[in-house]
Chains A and B, each alone.
Chain A
Amino acid sequence: MDFEWPVFLEALPSLAKGMVNTVRIAGWAALLALLLGLVGGLCRVSRRRWLNLPALVYVTTMRAVPVLVTLMFLYYGLPSAGLLLDATTVGVLGLALTSGAYTSEVLRAGIQSIDRGQMRAARALGMSYGLAMRRIVLPQALRRVLPPLTSELITLVKNTALVSTIAISELLRAGTDFMVWKANTFSPFAGVALGYLLLTLPLIGLNAWLERRYAVT
């Protein structure tokens, strides 16, 4: 073991910088994923074929392909098709596309778990499908799926480590750079692990709290 306090402490500033990037990428990706998940989930429960079929294809594809492959495809594959995106955009997009697929499934399950009588009652009052979904079904579904959604957010934060492979200087990349520079492995990676712990522990706490709060009784 080559842990050395001086190296560890010296690594902290650059790790912190990398962590800021990790948070930025995770934040944008999470926002986009929620949007994708909302649209995807609503399309999945739609009875219109032209809405639910593309959504099913999207969800199935993204769940079947490893995140790393998605990132590689966007980063190396798309430029050959004439679409050159910068690394950060690719990172955010790749993570969001994947997370959006899982979020779609979580939301679909949430919507379908709401008693059909709710939609019937809303429609019987003259509400349109859209209004009934927005005001009656979705708010109840969202509340119910908050715990699995935070779970998905934790996965997303951890998946940001994968964008280190496409030249983005986030937390893991900052650690490997430091390892090469100082020829010391244990110290920077201890810092990296600690960094992820710092990011995910509050989310894990939030998840546990939500699960207790919205426990299905």
Chain B
Amino acid sequence: MGALLTIRNLHKSYADTSVLRGVDLEVDAGEVVVVIGPSGSGKSTLLSCVNFLEPFDAGEIAFDGRPVGYGPSGAATRMKLSERELNLLRRDIGMVFQQFNLFPHFSVLANLMEAPVRVLGRPAAQVRAEAERLLAKVGLAHKAAAYPRELSGGQQQRVAIARALAMQPKLMLFDEVTSALDPELKGEVLKVMRALAQEGMTMLVVTHEMQFAREAADRVVFMEDGRIVEAAPAEAFFDAPRHARTREFIASIQSV
């Protein structure tokens, strides 16, 4: 039984700047992995490589037994997967962004229904019922007909989570999803994420919320300068970090 997501020796640079310098990470099905680290450490880039929104230079990613981005390892030349294959992969990987990125010209319900209907070709009536159920789950059943601009940031982000879940993904990626929110709105989003974690959703979460990491994560990963410095079960990570740099970072975050 292999991991749901396997990242091996991942490298990526923009122009002259090396952003990822050999990242190895595995995420098992049902596991919640939280990635923390100072800004510019490559956390968000790592996430974008997992569903290939960003191409990478070297290394391999495998999701659910399928190669991500480039053809199977061991091939003589590195071949980029076809658009069609990439689209098939992305169906099963949900992503939530810092800036929500809801579709402003669609109602909340239409935001949730768009991909399941247009990409998966599922019947609209069935998708609608499920979308309504998902909205109820994130506490926004009454906002189905509203437009994104009529919602608070916290509500928009909960819709964005529901939109990703509507595709019934096997893995959810969260990219600093509370960073753009006022402090009093972060809680409602984190609550939805905690519930999701408890249901057994596999999650890879980039965040600055240490409390969330401590409570909801199975494993915490500390990244700096494009490398993973330390990865450990949440409790061990916070209570007994092994690396000096990790200790410093935890201290600096908690003193804020």
Contact = CB atoms under 8 A, between A and B. Distances in A.
B97 interface: yes
Interface residues of B, number: 27
B198 to A, nearest CB: 24
A129 B118 CA distance: 13
Q: Is the interface of B mostly helix, strand, loop or mixed?
A: mixed
Interface stretch (A8-16, A92-100, A116-124): A116-124
A127 interface: yes
Contacts of B167: 125-126
Given A117-B99, A140-B105, A143-B105, A124 B118 contact: no
A122 B51 CA distance: 12
B119 A127 contact: yes
Nearest to B91: A126
B103 interface: yes
Given A124-B51, A125-B119, A125-B164, A115 B105 contact: no
Contact of A121 (B97, B105, B120): B97
B179 interface: no
Interface string A108-140: 000000010110111111111101000110011
Contacts of A128: 83-84, 87
Interface of A: 115, 117-118, 120-129, 131, 135-136, 139-140, 143
Given A121-B95, A126-B167, A127-B118, 13 more contacts: A117-B97, A118-B101, A121-B97, A121-B102, A122-B103, A124-B90, A124-B93, A125-B115, A125-B167, A126-B91, A126-B115, A127-B87, A136-B103
